Amino acid sequence: MLARFSWNAVSPDYFRAMDIPVRKGRSFTERDDGSARVVIVNETFVRRYLGRREAVGATFEWGRNRFYRIVGVVSDTKTMTIGEGPVSQLYEPLAQTQNSQQIQFVVRTGPAPAGQLAAVRQALRRVKPAAGLKVETMFAAIGFAFLPSQVGAILMGSVGALGLLLSIVGLYGVLAYSVARRTYEIGIRLAVGATPGHVSQIVLSGFARLLTVGIGIGLAAALLITRPLAIFLVPGLSASDPLNLAGVVVVLSSAGVLAAIGPMSRALRVDPLQCLRYE
C-alpha cells in the first residue's frame, strides 16, 4: 500500500509543549535515539492505513528494508492551513533522523509569551551565536493563517447584524399591516366582550406561525450555505453546531418579540365604538 502522510521530527517534550494529547501508547523519550526505529502517528493515520488493527506495536516498512514500530497515537492537528481536512501525520524522534538542517524550537511559558522573546533569543544566541534566528510568539507565527477566519467573521457578523435589523423592521411592518387590516374585526371582538388576552392571542397566533416558518426555512438554508464556509472555522468549531443554532433561534425569536411589541400595543388600544362608527 502506498501511504501519503505529513512528516515531522520532534523532541520528546514536543507533544507536551504543543498540548497535543497522546491517545494511546507513549510519547518519545530520551532513549529513542535511533537504535530502534520508532514513530508516533495521529488518529487519521490509524483510520486510513491500519483500520481495526491495534496501532501501538504495529510495524511497517518505510524505505528499502527499513521497518518502523508505532509506539504512540496522538490527536489530529492542522498541518498547513486552518481549514484543511484530516491529514495523516507521522512523527519521528529528532535524534533518530539525519534531516536536522533547520530546527524550530517551541517554548511553553507561564508568563505572557511576548515578554519572554528577548530571554529566549539570548539563550539561543549563547548556544549558537552565528545561527540565523527568528523568535516570535505562536500567535504571530500563525496569525496569517487566521486572517481569512477573522476577515470572514467580521464580514459575516456585519451582514448578520444588518440582516437581523432588517428582519425586525420587516416583521414590524408585516404585523403592523396585519393589525391595521383587522382593526374592524378586533373592534367587533372587543365590543362583544373579548378580553385583551384574547386579542393578543389572535395577533400572536399569526405572528408565531410566520416566525416559525421563517426560522425553519432560515435554518434549513443555513445548514446548506454554511458548509462551504466551514473551511474558515478554527479547529473545534462546527458550522452546524446545535448550540450555535439554538442560540440563533433564541436571538431571532427575541427579535420577533421585539418587533411585535408595537403592533400588539396598537391592537390593544383599538376603540370598539370608533371602529363601529367608522364602518
68-116 pLDDT, tens per residue? Answer: 999 999 999 887 766 677 889 999 998 888 665 677 788 888 778 777 7
Inside any domain, residue 73: yes
Do 79 and 163 share a structural domain? no
Cβ within 8 Å of residue 191, ≥6 positions away? 272, 273, 275, 276
**Tell me, what's the pLDDT at 92?**
92
Do 64 and 150 share a structural domain? no
Read off the pLDDT of residues 23-61 as tens digits, 9 standing for 90 and up: 999 999 989 888 889 999 999 999 999 988 899 999 988
Residue type, 76: D
Do 169 and 84 share a structural domain? no
Do 165 and 59 share a structural domain? no
Distance CA(107)–CA(62), nearest Å, equals 31
Do 211 and 158 share a structural domain? yes
| Mean pLDDT in residue range 260-278 | 68
Inside any domain, residue 222: yes
Do 256 and 183 share a structural domain? yes
| Mean pLDDT in residue range 111-133 | 78
Do 150 and 250 share a structural domain? yes
pLDDT tier at 1, thresholds 50, 70, 90: low
Do 73 and 127 share a structural domain? no
Do 122 and 205 share a structural domain? no
Least confident window among 9-13, 35-39, 199-203: 199-203
pTM of the model: 0.57
Domain range for residue 113? Answer: 108-136
Do 185 and 58 share a structural domain? no
Domain count for the chain: 3
**Tell me, what's the pLDDT at 224?**
79
Handedness of CA 187, 191, 193, 195 (dihedral sign): positive
Inside any domain, residue 1: no
List 90's β-bridge partners, or say none.
7, 41
**Tell me, what's the pLDDT at 2?**
63
Inside any domain, residue 76: yes
Do 182 and 93 share a structural domain? no
| Mean pLDDT in residue range 185-205 | 76
